[in-house]
Structure 1
Amino acid sequence: MLILTLAYAIMQGIYSDAGPIPASIESRAIASCDGLNNQRSIWGIVWSCLSTIFLCTWVAVHPNVHFRPEKRDQRRLEKWLWDPLHGFVTYNLVLFLWALLVPEYILAWAVRQYWKAGEISKKVPGWTRSHGFFIIMGGFHLFRLPADAPSTPFPLESEESCDFVAPTGLHLRGAEVPVCPFKFEDFPVEILEAIAPTATELKDRGKSDSLTKIIVLVQTLWFVAQCIVRGIQHLPLTELEVVTLAYAMLNLFIYAFWWDKPRNVECPVRVYKTSTAIHKESGKEADIWFLDDFFDWVEMVINYTTGRQDRRVTLSKNCSVPMFWSGRIGDQGLGLAGLGPSILGAAFGAIHCISWSSEFPSLIELILWRISCISMIAIPFQVVTVCAWWTGGEKDETWYDSLLASIAIISMGLLALSAWLYVAARIATLAIAFTALRSLPPAAFITVDWTTFIPHI
C-alpha cells in the first residue's frame, strides 16, 4: 500500500488536472486537433510502444541452451521448416509470453543466474562470470564416443578418479551419442580449465555484442526520457505508454544482470566419455514431484514462483537444461536473489497507477485497470514476505521468528491461490491499453517541446 500511495501522489502531482492547464498547452492541443504542428499520430504511439515492448520481452531475454540432437538424413521440409517452427513455438514463444505476462519472474531468473555464476567463477582459476553463466545455461554437454573410437583418459594431478576422455583418432561426429547436460559439480576443476572456451570465444558464441546491448539500452532510455518530459510538461501518457514504461524499467535491470551472459547459444561444448562409462550425476538426488492432491499443486506453484523448482530436476535424465534452470541454490540464497526482483515487481505494478485517474473510454475499463493495479502490487509483496523470511537463515525459537514464519506461510498460501489473479491482471492491463486508444484526449497527441530543455533549437 505504501508504494501504491506514493505512486498515486506522484501521479496526482504530474498527471492530474488538479491545477489549471497552461495556456500554451491548451493552444497546442487545439492546434493538434486542427492538424497543425506538434502532432503525433496514433500509429506513431503504437509503433513506439510495441517496438520498446519487443526489445524488453524478446531481445532482452537471454535463454539457456536449448539443445536439440542433430538428425541424420532429414528431409529439407523437416529441416528448414518443421523443426525451426516447432522450436520457436515450444521454446522461444513460451519465453516471450512469460516475459510479457510475468516480466519480474524473468528478472528473478536473471538474478539467480547472476548469483550462481558469480559463485562458480570464483572456484575456477581464470574464469569470468561469463564462464559461470555458460556452464549454468547448459554450455557443456555429455557425449558418448562410438565403441571403436580411440580415446585417452584425462590425466589429473590429483588422485581423484576421472572417466572423462579425449578423442585421439578419426570417427564420425554423427556417430557420437548425446546424453545429458552437465552442471558445475560434475567436473573436476582441472578438466574445466582444459576444455572451457576462453572469454573471447564465449563472446563469439553469443548472438549479440556490447554494441547491440548498448543500442537497446539507449532506445529504452530514450523512451523513458520522453515519458518523464511529458509528465514535466503536463502532457498525458496513454495507457499503452504507461504499460511500456513499466516494461522499460524492468528491462534495465534484466540487461544489467545478464550483461555478461552469452545470448542465444545453440551448440554446447562436447565433453566425452567412452561408450561403456556410466555417468552418475553428482550432488544430492533431486526431490520427486508428487501431484496427488491439491496441496501438491500448491507446493509446485510456490516452488516455481520462488525458484526452488531446480531442486526437483535431475539433469542426467534430461536432453537439455530446463527453460528456467539456474542451478540449485539454498533457501537463504534464493531469498536474497528473489527479494529485489519481488520489490521491483511491486514497483512494476505501481507504475501502472500513473493512469489511475486518466480518462478511460468506459467506467468498466477504469475499474478493471484499478483492480489490476492493486493486484500487481499486492501479489509481488507476498513473494517479498517469503523471500525476507528465507534471508534470515537459521531461525531461533523466539516469538518474533514464529510470527515471521506464520506470516510467510500465510503468504505462501495466498500466493498459490492468487497467482492466477496476477496473470489475469496483466492480460487485463494489456487489453485495456489497446482498447483505450479508441478515445484519447487531444493533449495525448501533442509532441514533447524539447526547446524547453534545449534552448536555441
Structure 2
Amino acid sequence: MLILILAYYLAQSAHSEAGPIAAPIELRDIASCDGQRRQRTLANIIWSCLSTIVLCTWVAVHPNVQFRPEKQGQGWFEKGLWNPLHEAVTFKLPLFLWALLFPEYILSWAVRQYLQAGVISKQVPRWTRTHGNFMIMGGFHLFRLPADAPSIPLPLKSREPSNFINPAGIHNREDEIPVCPLKFEDFPVDILRIIAPTETELKDRGKSDSLTKIIVLVQTLWFVIQCIARGTQKLPLTELEVVTLAYATLNLFIYIFWWDKPRNVECPIRVYKTATASHEESGKEAEGWEGNWVWRWVQKVIAYSIGAQDHYVKLSAECSIPTFWSGRVENRLLADAGLGPSLLGSAFGAIHCIVWSSVFSSCAERIMWHVSCVAMIAVPFVVTILCVVMVVGLRKSDVFDGWNAVILIICSNLLMLSGWLYIASRIVTLVIAFAALRSLAPAAFTTVDWTTFIPHI
C-alpha cells in the first residue's frame, strides 16, 4: 500500500512538473495525429506497472514453512496484530525484497525444489510432486509428547515398532515440545504412507488455489502482450514498463516451477516421539566450512551461488526450516538447476536493453542505465560458467581439479568483487525507471490500437 501511495504521489508531482509540456502533448499533438485514439495518463502507467510487479513478485514466491511455537496466554493485541505484523516485517517483507533484487536466485531456488520434489515423489508409492514439495518446505515437524502422555508406536512393514508414535490419550497440545523440522531421510517409507495427507488435503493447506494462479498468469501475460503490441506499432515503452516486463517474464517461470507447491503454509504436520526417545538426524552428515578464511569465503560464495548451502546445514539443530532450504540436492542436479536460471537471469538483464537507445533525461542517467544493464547480464553469466564447469567436471569425478578448480576460483572471485555492482544495478534501474517518468516522450501516452490486429480488408 505504501508503494502504491508513493507511486501516486510521484505520478502527480511528475505530471505537475511537466505541466506546460505534457498538456499540449497529450491533448493536442497526439489527438490531432491519431484521431479518436484514447490516451493513457501517467497514473495509468504507474498503476499498471506497480500492480503487475507486486502481483508477480508477492504472489509468485512460495515460502517454506516458518514454524513458530505457540505462546500461551497471548492477548488480543499480540495474537491479532503484533504476531502477524512481526511475521510480515521479519520474514515476508525481506523475502519480497530479495525477490525484487535477486529474482533469478528465487527462480533457481524454485527449480531446485522442483527437481528434488520429483526425486522424493518417486520413492513413496502414490506420492506426487506436491507431497515432495511439502516435505522439502518443512511440512513435517518433530514434537515430543509429555512424559505422562500415553502413545502407540507406529508399525513398520516388518511389524517391528518404530521411534515414531501416535498419541493415544488426552493431553494438552500446548505441552508438546517442538524439536526440529524433519527431512525425507528421517522417515521410513512406511511411516510416510501412514502420516502423509492426500494431495487434496495438502493443497487445502495452501493459501491459494488454481483459480488464483490462473488470474496471476492472465494478468502477467496480458501485460506482456501489451508490451509486444506497443513494439509492433512502434510505440515506445517507458523504462518502468521495461523493468516490469523483465519481472513479469522471470516470475512467470517461477510460478510454473512452484505450481505444485502449497503456498503460505504456516503450520506443519506434527510428528511425535516420546519424551525419552532420541532423535538422530538420518542421511549424509552436514559438511563443515574448511580451510582458512579466504578459502572459506570462496566456499560460501560458490555454495550460495549454486544453491549447495543446504549441505552445510544441520537440520536437527534448527528450530525451523531454513528460508532457502531445498533439501540436500545431489551435485549433478544442482548444476542442472543452476544452469537454466542463470541464463534466464542474463536474459532478465538483457530485457532492460530494450530502452538502450531511448532518450534519457540526462547523460548521467543514460550512462548508469547502460552500466547497470551490462552488470545484470554479466554477473548471472558468471554463475552460468560455474554451472557449466560443474556439469562438465562432475561427469568425470566428484572432485574438481586442474582447470576446473582454477575456473571455479576465478569465477568465485569475480562474484565477490562484482556482487556489490550487481545489487547497485538493481537499485539504479528501479530509481531511474521512476525518475524517467518526469519527462516522457509524446508517443509514450498513446495507447495501442487493437483494431490493427483484427484481420480485415
**TM-score strictly above 0.5:** yes
Structure 2 Cα separation of the partners of residues 281 and 32 of structure 1: 74
Once the two structures are TM-superposed, the CA of residue 212 in structure 1 deviates from its matched residue by 0.6
- Partners of 1:32 and 1:446 within 8 A in 2: no
Does residue 293 (structure 1) correspond to residue 293 (structure 2)? The answer is yes
The amino acid of 2:416's aligned partner reads: A
More displaced stretch, 101-110 vs 277-286: 277-286
Could you say which residue in structure 2 is the equivalent of 1:310?
310
Could you say which residue in structure 2 is the equivalent of 1:366?
366
Task: Output aligned runs, 1:135-284, within 5 Å.
Answer: 135-158=135-158, 162-284=162-284
SS in 2 for 1:221: helix
Once the two structures are TM-superposed, the CA of residue 75 in structure 1 deviates from its matched residue by 2.4
The amino acid of 1:381's aligned partner reads: F
Once the two structures are TM-superposed, the CA of residue 403 in structure 1 deviates from its matched residue by 3.7
Structure 1 Cα separation of the partners of residues 430 and 212 of structure 2: 28
Could you say which residue in structure 2 is the equivalent of 1:12?
none
Structure 2 Cα separation of the partners of residues 292 and 82 of structure 1: 43
- Partners of 1:144 and 1:178 within 8 A in 2: yes
Deviations 1:198-226 (A, max 9, x none): 01101110111111101100000000000
Structure 2 Cα separation of the partners of residues 105 and 175 of structure 1: 39
Could you say which residue in structure 2 is the equivalent of 1:62?
62
Once the two structures are TM-superposed, the CA of residue 76 in structure 1 deviates from its matched residue by 2.2
Structure 1 Cα separation of the partners of residues 26 and 42 of structure 2: 19
- Partners of 1:28 and 1:38 within 8 A in 2: no
Structure 2 Cα separation of the partners of residues 85 and 290 of structure 1: 39
Structure 2 Cα separation of the partners of residues 241 and 361 of structure 1: 16
Structure 1 Cα separation of the partners of residues 412 and 40 of structure 2: 46
Once the two structures are TM-superposed, the CA of residue 155 in structure 1 deviates from its matched residue by 1.3
- Partners of 1:165 and 1:274 within 8 A in 2: yes
Structure 2 Cα separation of the partners of residues 393 and 137 of structure 1: 30
Q: How many residues align?
A: 430
Once the two structures are TM-superposed, the CA of residue 341 in structure 1 deviates from its matched residue by 0.2
Structure 2 Cα separation of the partners of residues 297 and 55 of structure 1: 36
Once the two structures are TM-superposed, the CA of residue 291 in structure 1 deviates from its matched residue by 10
SS in 1 for 2:162: coil
Could you say which residue in structure 1 is the equivalent of 2:48?
48
Could you say which residue in structure 1 is the equivalent of 2:130?
130
The amino acid of 2:60's aligned partner reads: A
Structure 1 Cα separation of the partners of residues 187 and 33 of structure 2: 68
- Partners of 2:154 and 2:161 within 8 A in 1: no
SS in 2 for 1:69: coil
Could you say which residue in structure 2 is the equivalent of 1:7?
none
Structure 2 Cα separation of the partners of residues 248 and 68 of structure 1: 32
Once the two structures are TM-superposed, the CA of residue 406 in structure 1 deviates from its matched residue by 2.8
- Partners of 2:298 and 2:409 within 8 A in 1: no
Structure 1 Cα separation of the partners of residues 396 and 305 of structure 2: 26
Could you say which residue in structure 1 is the equivalent of 2:111?
111
Structure 1 Cα separation of the partners of residues 332 and 420 of structure 2: 27
Judged with a 3 Å threshold, the aligned counterparts in structure 2 of structure 1 residues 263 and 290 are, in CA distance, closer, same or farther, namely same
Structure 1 Cα separation of the partners of residues 26 and 155 of structure 2: 79
Task: Output aligned runs, 1:393-404, within 5 Å.
Answer: 393-394=393-394, 396=396, 402-404=402-404
The amino acid of 2:308's aligned partner reads: R
TM-score, scaled relative to structure 2: 0.90
Could you say which residue in structure 2 is the equivalent of 1:379?
379
Structure 2 Cα separation of the partners of residues 157 and 179 of structure 1: 26
The amino acid of 1:314's aligned partner reads: K
SS in 1 for 2:319: coil
Structure 2 Cα separation of the partners of residues 439 and 47 of structure 1: 17
Could you say which residue in structure 1 is the equivalent of 2:8?
none
Structure 1 Cα separation of the partners of residues 416 and 295 of structure 2: 10
Could you say which residue in structure 2 is the equivalent of 1:39?
39
Once the two structures are TM-superposed, the CA of residue 29 in structure 1 deviates from its matched residue by 5.3
The amino acid of 1:193's aligned partner reads: R
Deviations 1:390-430 (A, max 9, x none): 11254659xx9844443333112211221121111000000
Could you say which residue in structure 2 is the equivalent of 1:450?
450
Could you say which residue in structure 1 is the equivalent of 2:80?
80
Could you say which residue in structure 1 is the equivalent of 2:349?
349
SS in 2 for 1:391: helix
Structure 2 Cα separation of the partners of residues 179 and 28 of structure 1: 70
Does residue 436 (structure 1) correspond to residue 436 (structure 2)? The answer is yes
Structure 2 Cα separation of the partners of residues 405 and 393 of structure 1: 9
Judged with a 3 Å threshold, the aligned counterparts in structure 2 of structure 1 residues 272 and 407 are, in CA distance, closer, same or farther, namely same
The amino acid of 1:78's aligned partner reads: E
Aligned-CA RMSD value: 2.3
Structure 2 Cα separation of the partners of residues 258 and 317 of structure 1: 27
How many percent of aligned residue pairs carry the same amino acid? 68
Structure 2 Cα separation of the partners of residues 283 and 160 of structure 1: 21
Structure 2 Cα separation of the partners of residues 326 and 434 of structure 1: 35
SS in 2 for 1:162: strand
Gaps of 5+ in 2: 1-24
TM-score, scaled relative to structure 1: 0.90
Structure 2 Cα separation of the partners of residues 105 and 395 of structure 1: 25
Deviations 1:10-36 (A, max 9, x none): xxxxxxxxxxxxxxx999953289997
Structure 2 Cα separation of the partners of residues 298 and 244 of structure 1: 34
- Partners of 1:32 and 1:442 within 8 A in 2: no
